[in-house]
Amino acid sequence: MSWISPVEASPGPGQKANDYDRFAEAYAAENETSLINAYYARPAIVDLAGDVTGHRVLDAGCDAGPVAEALRERGAVVAGFDSSAVMLALARRRLGDDVVLERAELGGPLPFADAGFDDVVASLVLHYLEDWTTALAELRRVLKPGGRLIASVNHPFVSQMAAPRGTDYFATRSTSEMWELGGAKHLMTFWERPLHAITDTFTAAGFRIDVISESAPAPGARERFPEVFAQKQSGKFLCFLFFVLTRPDLRPPLGPNAARAAISTSPVLHRNGLRHPER
């Protein structure tokens, strides 16, 4: 992408990295039509979510709301959070005031109830963190048993190929680059880690890995960006790695008597009109 360039020297101590409030509008506008977001990262994660009709879905690091909007169009009831106030304002403009949008940091406590969501999507956000432990614990907490975390991160093989000669693939390391958007350059910092560290962290957090995908770009990408695909007969390229994880339901199966009792007292079923309470 022409607006991304390497950092020529180590960032100074006064430089603030990942300050999305400074360039949120320019970033959101770029992502509406870009290959990497509009034709690749966003459709890939939405396709992995599949049928979300009636699902409560939390968009972790919701940006200006394009993923949440796409999932809502598929029938989901969406909510989101982001650390950027400007991004949240853009998301509210896109999604409307009836969608719950909170300002919160990934890696800190989240303002959502336990087991409140069927799915969580975390598109290109985990790699901003050195330590994923707290973030994954919180995302697991807000998921229902059996719920899914659908995530994407920088592909570790791509990171290694772009790294200076002699870089230790097996190290968890910080990398930086400059993004030129809105007429200014912005320092971005990410944390790269090997594939086994990614999968080990997911399983240590209590998730089951169901899918690891190197997704293909969406239909129309080759026609829209012919110069990118001129030497790619497969129509694919390496950039991000996509995961579908499940929070296992570890509760013991209900016996027939317990199951009937659970149904008869369920306030959710009563509210939804599937069973009337005893009068």
- Pairing state between β 143-154 and 240-246: antiparallel
Helix (H, G, I), strand (E, B) or coil at 76: coil
User: What pLDDT is stored for residue 3 in this prediction?
Assistant: 57
Instruction: Please provide the average confidence, as pLDDT, over all residues in the chain.
Output: 88
Q: What is the mean pLDDT of residues 220-230?
A: 94
End-to-end CA gap in the chain: 65
**Does residue 183 carry a pLDDT above 50?**
yes
Q: In whole angstroms, give the CA distance from residue 114 to residue 95.
A: 24
pLDDT tens-digit readout, 109-168: 999 999 999 999 999 999 999 999 999 999 999 999 999 999 999 999 999 999 999 999
Query: Binning pLDDT at 50, 70 and 90, where does residue 279 land?
Result: very low
| pLDDT given for residue 36 in this prediction | 95
The one-letter amino acid code at 62 reads C
Nearest to 120, CA basis, from 55, 208, 42: 55
Question: In the sheet that 173-181 helps form, which strands lie side by side, from edge to edge?
Answer: 4-6, 173-181, 184-192
pLDDT tens column, 47-78: 999 999 999 999 999 999 999 999 999 999 99
Q: State percent of the chain over pLDDT 90.
A: 82
Q: How confident is the model at residue 261 (pLDDT cuts 50, 70, 90)?
A: very low
